[in-house]
Amino acid sequence: MTINASRRRLGRTGIDVFPLNLGGNVFGWSADRDATFAVLDAYREAGGNFIDTADVYNKWVPGHVGGESESLIGAWLASRRCRDEMVIATKVGMGGPGLTAGLSGDHVARGAEASLARLGVDHLDLFYAHRDDPGTPLEETLRAFDALVRAGKVRAIGASNYTAARLQQALDHSSANGLATFAVVQPEYNLVSRGTLEGELAAVCTANGLAVCTYFALASGFLTGKYSAGGTATGARASGVQKFLADPVAVARLESLRAVAAKHSATPAQVALAWQLHQPFVTTPIASATSPAQVRELVASVQLRLNSDDLARLDG
């Protein structure tokens, strides 16, 4: 199955990516090696080329130290010999193997080298600061990223979990000092969690031509439609879902999502992702899958066209 979806340009990077960014946080957690390979195979078969991970994935799993996701992706890339087809994004700053949290120059440099080794690649297509580190001068962090770009170890850099003000400060500093500059932003964003991106952060991204790749695009599974108001969430992401089940506004929006999905003979997850792709400031949403069937469902969202009535209903 190949989805003939047009690629989207990743901001100023010159990199073209599939409109759905495959999340790698589940690899080594709820998807073991065989499931991970099957998911990646299905995504590639559908035309997907954009994989998101981080050095800290899946440190939260008992017995893990982080880096498990990167290692599995690296093993798959080697097995399938498809490195040149794929755009690989990873992150540093939240405490990967052998590192504490933070964005000191040493952390950024060591984190990059460790990620390169686990992924088995000679460069990272996109390297994010996983979250802001107010305790480290921006100058130090940005010079460390710049050194990686100049060395050819990183093609483009991005900022995850930055405020609008801090992002603009970083952009201004890079511009004034001739340093590699953030080209991609990764914020939380979905139909029921919109405040982080909409408004000031989206305005900064638009004004500076930055790509936006959103995480928690399905609100930890709430927007898949498998939960109902008053119910109790179970599973690995139960806490993330339960807060939405207790929120009348979120529940009402979920019902609108179900209605639009029924109209299009689609699933709620497909509509939730398609809604993001209709937002002018979103480049790609990130969604994860644990089976090829889930991959096929999610990638079909890139072909779903919503009209103004659909969008108004979802925004209501």
Burial class (CB in 10 A: 0-12, 13-18, 19+), 305: exposed
Residue 93 within any structural domain of the chain: yes
Average pLDDT over residues 37-44: 98
Average pLDDT over residues 193-209: 97
* pLDDT (0 to 100) of residue 6: 85
Query: For 147-180, b where at least 16 C-beta lie within 10 A, e where not — what string?
Result: bbbeeebbbbbbbbbbebebbbebbebbeeeebb
- Report the relative pairing of strands 21-23 and 211-214 from DSSP bridges: unpaired
pLDDT at 309 over 70: yes
Q: Which of 36-45, 228-237, 289-298 has the lowest mean pLDDT?
A: 228-237
Residue 152 within any structural domain of the chain: yes
* pLDDT (0 to 100) of residue 237: 60
* Runs of H (alpha helix) within the chain: 33-45, 68-80, 105-119, 138-150, 164-177, 200-207, 238-245, 248-263, 268-277, 292-299, 308-315
Residue 168 within any structural domain of the chain: yes
Q: What is the mean pLDDT of the chain?
A: 95
- Report the relative pairing of strands 8-9 and 50-52 from DSSP bridges: unpaired
Burial class (CB in 10 A: 0-12, 13-18, 19+), 135: exposed
Q: For 130-141, what is each residue's pLDDT tens digit? A: 999 999 999 999
* pLDDT (0 to 100) of residue 242: 82
CATH of the domain at 106: 3.20.20.100
Residue 232's pLDDT band (boundaries 50, 70, 90)?
Answer: low
Residue 293 within any structural domain of the chain: yes
Q: For 53-96, what is each residue's pLDDT tens digit? A: 999 999 999 999 999 999 999 999 999 999 999 999 999 999 99
Residue 89 within any structural domain of the chain: yes
Helix (H, G, I), strand (E, B) or coil at 142: helix
Q: Compute φ and ψ for 293, nearest 5 degrees.
A: -60, -40
Tokens of 296: 């096929």
Domain with 45, as residue range(s), is: 8-221+268-307
Give the contacts of 113 (CB within 8 A, at least 6 positions apart). Answer: none
Q: For 116-165, what is each residue's pLDDT tens digit? A: 999 999 999 999 999 999 999 999 999 999 999 999 999 999 999 999 99
**Single-letter amino acid, residue 99:** L
**Single-letter amino acid, residue 165:** A
Nearest to 144 by CA among 134, 131, 154, 135: 154
Number of domains within the chain = 1
Residue 227's pLDDT band (boundaries 50, 70, 90)?
Answer: confident
pLDDT at 239 over 70: no
List, by residue number, the catalytic residues. Answer: 57
Helix (H, G, I), strand (E, B) or coil at 212: strand
Residue 316's pLDDT band (boundaries 50, 70, 90)?
Answer: confident
* pLDDT (0 to 100) of residue 1: 52
pLDDT at 306 over 70: yes
Residues in a beta bridge with 158:
128, 184
Entry pTM: 0.95
| Percent of the chain whose predicted confidence (pLDDT) is above 70 | 95
Residue 284 within any structural domain of the chain: yes
Residue 159 within any structural domain of the chain: yes
Residue 254 within any structural domain of the chain: no
